[in-house]
C-alpha cells in the first residue's frame, strides 16, 4: 500500500524550519543585540579611542556575536557575554595595530594640529599616559584584563562579570583585585610624575 505522505512534505518541513529560524534570528536581534548597541560602541570606544577603529570593531564583534547567537541566547547573562565579545574584539584590534606600528613608521599620523586654546604639550602627555595605561592593561592576563575593564569601565556587577568569564563571583573579585593591584604597581611612577607636573604648573 502506498504511503499517504505528500511528496513535498520535506519541502514543507524545511520551509517551516527556515521560517522558524528567521523568527528566532529576529527575536535574538531585537531582544539581545539592539538594546545593547549603544553600550557596545561605548565600551569599544573607551578602549580604542578612535572613531573609525571603533566602528570596525563593532562590525567585527557583531559578526562574532551573530555566529554564536544561539550560544549567546542560552548564556546565563547574554548582555555580559556580548559586552565581553566587544572587549575581546577591541583588544584584538589594538594588538594588531601595535604589531603594525612596530613594523611601520606611523609617527606622521599623529601630527594633527591642536585646536585653539589647547596646550599641545599637555595633550601629548595625556595621550602618552593613556597609551601607557592601555599597554599596562594589555600586559595583564586575559581574564584579569577583561574583569578589570568590565568593572572599571563598564561598571558591571561582580555577578555579571563572573557569568561572562564563566567563573565564580569570588574568582571574578580576585581577578579584579589582583588586576588593579598590578596596574597600580606598574603605573605608580607615571601617575606620580603626572601629579608632580600638575603641581608645578
Nearest to 149 by CA among 49, 47, 27, 61: 47
Q: Which residue has the higher pLDDT, 54 or 12?
A: 54
Which pLDDT value is given to residue 8? Answer: 43
Nearest to 174 by CA among 201, 197, 191, 151: 151
Q: What CA–CA distance (Å, rounded) separates 79 from 85?
A: 10
CATH 1.10.3470 fits 13-103, yes or no: no
Q: How many CB atoms lie within 10 A of CB 119?
A: 11
CA dihedral over 37, 43, 46, 50, signed as positive or negative: negative
pTM comes to: 0.57
Q: At 62, list the grid cell.
A: 557583531
Q: Which residue has the higher pLDDT, 6 or 51?
A: 51
Q: What CA–CA distance (Å, rounded) separates 84 from 43?
A: 9
Least confident of 29-33, 85-89, 126-130: 126-130
pLDDT in tens, 129-164: 777 777 788 788 888 888 888 887 778 888 888 888
Which pLDDT value is given to residue 111? Answer: 47
Nearest to 86 by CA among 112, 67, 64, 117: 64
Q: What is the mean pLDDT of residues 61-75?
A: 91
Q: Where are the domains of the chain?
A: 13-103, 119-201
pLDDT in tens, 19-49: 565 667 888 888 989 999 989 998 888 888 7
Q: What CA–CA distance (Å, rounded) separates 15 from 25?
A: 15
Q: Residue 85 — pLDDT band, cuts 50, 70, 90?
A: very high
CA dihedral over 49, 51, 55, 60, signed as positive or negative: negative
Classify domain 119-201 by CATH number: 1.10.10.10
Q: Residue 60 — pLDDT band, cuts 50, 70, 90?
A: very high
The H-or-E segment that residue 4 falls in is none
| 80, 161 contact by CB (below 8 A) | yes
Q: Which residue has the higher pLDDT, 58 or 8?
A: 58
User: Which residues contact residue 61 at a Cβ distance below 8 angstroms, ignoring those fewer than 6 apart?
Assistant: 40, 44, 85, 86, 88, 89, 90
Task: Check pLDDT > 60 for residue 75.
Answer: yes
Amino acid at each position: 500500500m502506498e504511503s499517504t505522505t505528500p511528496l513535498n512534505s520535506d519541502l514543507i518541513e524545511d520551509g517551516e524550519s527556515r521560517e522558524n529560524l528567521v523568527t528566532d534570528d529576529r527575536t535574538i536581534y531585537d531582544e539581545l543585540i539592539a538594546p545593547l548597541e549603544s553600550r557596545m560602541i561605548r565600551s569599544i570606544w573607551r578602549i580604542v579611542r578612535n572613531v573609525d577603529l571603533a566602528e570596525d570593531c563593532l562590525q567585527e564583534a557583531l559578526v562574532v556575536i551573530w555566529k554564536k547567537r544561539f550560544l549567546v541566547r542560552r548564556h546565563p547573562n547574554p548582555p555580559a557575554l556580548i559586552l565581553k565579545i566587544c572587549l575581546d574584539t577591541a583588544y584584538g584590534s589594538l594588538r594588531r595595530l601595535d604589531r603594525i606600528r612596530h613594523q611601520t613608521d606611523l609617527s606622521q599620523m599623529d601630527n594633527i594640529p591642536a585646536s585653539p586654546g589647547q596646550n599641545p604639550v599637555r595633550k601629548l602627555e595625556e595621550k602618552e599616559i593613556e597609551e601607557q595605561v592601555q599597554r599596562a592593561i594589555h600586559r595583564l592576563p586575559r581574564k584579569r584584563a577583561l574583569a578589570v575593564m568590565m568593572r572599571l569601565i563598564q561598571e558591571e556587577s561582580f555577578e555579571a562579570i563572573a557569568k561572562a568569564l564563566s567563573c565564580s563571583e569570588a574568582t571574578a573579585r580576585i581577578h579584579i583585585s589582583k588586576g588593579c593591584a598590578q596596574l597600580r604597581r606598574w603605573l605608580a611612577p607615571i601617575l606620580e610624575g603626572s601629579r608632580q607636573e600638575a603641581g608645578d604648573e
